[in-house]
Each structure stands twice: as structure tokens, then as C-alpha cells.
């Protein structure tokens, strides 16, 4: 017989001996005491199961709440990006319109030198107005 087989038999023998010892101990304690111990073990197991279930449920609810919060944040970001895209498209249109207007004005100024003086006065007034608006917004003075 090899050593593995011998070790296996020894393990089975020890396990059997432990079982017999437990049975003898239970006999000594009496069936009533054994029944009380069994009930106590069952109550402890039930309590442990309830605690684990409560922990699992709390963990699950917390994870679900975090996922909901992340979904809300993602939705807000998506809406903000969409609004920014619309605003950018509007600004592109405005820039295109201004470029067309400026090209038209430049062509007219080149064709009609008499408009140049009026245009220069208008640009000076516009520039002064823009500087005034900037100074009001920034709280500075450019005088």
C-alpha cells in the first residue's frame, strides 16, 4: 500500500472518529440540549443570512443610485454639447453673413471713393461704441 492510500485511510478514520465523538457528546448532553443548540445554530444562520441580504441590498441600491446619477450627468453633458453645437452653427451663419456684408461694403468703397469718408466715420463710431461696451463690462476706462 502506498503512502497516499495510507494517508487517505487515516483521514477517513479520523473523520469517522470525530463523528463518533460528536455523537457520544450529543448523547451525553441529551437530546433536549442538542435540540436547543441546533435551534441556536439555525437562528444564528438565519440572522447571518438576513445581515448578508441587507448588506447586499444596500450595496445594490447604492450602485443603482450611482448609476442613475451618472446617467443624469451624462444626459446633462449631452444636452449641453447639443446646445453648444447649435450655438456654434448660429455663429457660423452670423460670421458668413458678416463676411458677405464686408465684401459687399469693400467692393462698394473701391467702386465709389465718396463712400470711403462716410465709412471711415462709421467705423470710428462703431469702434468707440465697442470700446465703451467692453469698458462697461470689464469695469475699465479707456479715456
Grid coordinates given for 111: 467702386
Q: Is the pLDDT confidence value at 18 over 50?
A: yes
Q: How many residues does the chain have?
A: 143
114: cell is 465718396
pLDDT band at 13 (very low <50, low <70, confident <90, very high): very low
Tell me which residue has cell 470711403.
Answer: 116
| Reported confidence tier of residue 24, pLDDT bands at 50, 70, 90 | low
Which candidate, 93, 104, 102, places its Cα nearest to that of 123?
Answer: 102
Confidence of residue 30 (pLDDT cuts 50, 70, 90): low
Q: Quick check: pTM over 0.75?
A: no
Determine the Cα–Cα distance for residues 143 and 139; give it in Å rounded to an integer.
Answer: 13
Report the C-alpha gap between 5 and 12 in whole angstroms. 11
Amino acid at each position: 500500500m502506498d503512502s497516499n492510500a495510507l494517508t487517505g485511510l487515516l483521514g477517513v478514520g479520523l473523520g469517522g472518529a470525530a463523528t463518533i465523538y460528536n455523537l457520544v457528546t450529543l448523547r451525553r448532553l441529551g437530546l433536549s440540549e442538542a435540540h436547543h443548540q441546533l435551534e441556536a445554530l439555525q437562528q444564528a444562520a438565519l440572522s447571518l443570512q438576513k445581515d448578508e441580504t441587507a448588506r447586499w441590498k444596500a450595496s445594490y441600491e447604492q450602485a443603482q443610485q450611482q448609476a442613475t446619477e451618472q446617467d443624469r450627468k451624462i444626459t446633462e453633458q449631452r444636452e449641453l454639447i447639443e446646445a453648444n453645437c447649435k450655438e456654434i452653427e448660429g455663429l457660423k451663419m452670423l460670421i458668413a453673413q458678416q463676411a458677405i456684408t464686408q465684401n459687399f461694403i469693400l467692393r462698394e468703397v473701391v467702386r465709389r471713393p465718396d463712400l470711403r469718408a462716410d465709412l471711415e466715420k462709421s467705423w470710428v463710431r462703431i469702434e468707440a461704441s465697442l470700446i465703451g461696451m467692453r469698458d462697461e463690462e470689464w469695469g475699465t476706462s479707456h479715456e
